[in-house]
Amino acid sequence: MTDKVEQPEEKPMNEQMYLDLVNQLKDKFDNNEYLMKRIQKQNIELKKEIVTAFGCMRILDNLIHNSYGADADIMLLSDSLRNHLSTFVEDMI
């Protein structure tokens, strides 16, 4: 004797149920679009900040190298940071 598992009878979906599901899907899609645009704006703002920091670092690096008596550690740190930002900006572009 084989035991048959009775599955509940599926009820056909009516038009209102379809509309509700479509509206839920649309809301999720709209929310995802909003989040994606917000992330893109934040990404652009972060890139602007990084490019600004790179420009300031180049100016600071020139000032340090043109001054007399600048500590070697400061010059090394300045060079390292400028190189790091330069590489990052090149990769970003």
- pLDDT at position 1, please? 53
The structure tokens listed for 28 are 């999720």
Tell me the percentage of the chain whose pLDDT exceeds 70. 90
What distance in Å separates the CA atoms of residue 10 and residue 17, rounded to the nearest whole number? 14
Q: Are 82 and 58 in contact (CB under 8 A)?
A: yes
Q: Read off the pLDDT of residues 9-45 as tens digits, 9 standing for 90 and up.
A: 777 778 888 899 999 999 999 999 999 999 999 999 9
Q: Are 38 and 20 in contact (CB under 8 A)?
A: no
85 — pLDDT class (breaks 50, 70, 90):
confident
What distance in Å separates the CA atoms of residue 26 and residue 35, rounded to the nearest whole number? 14
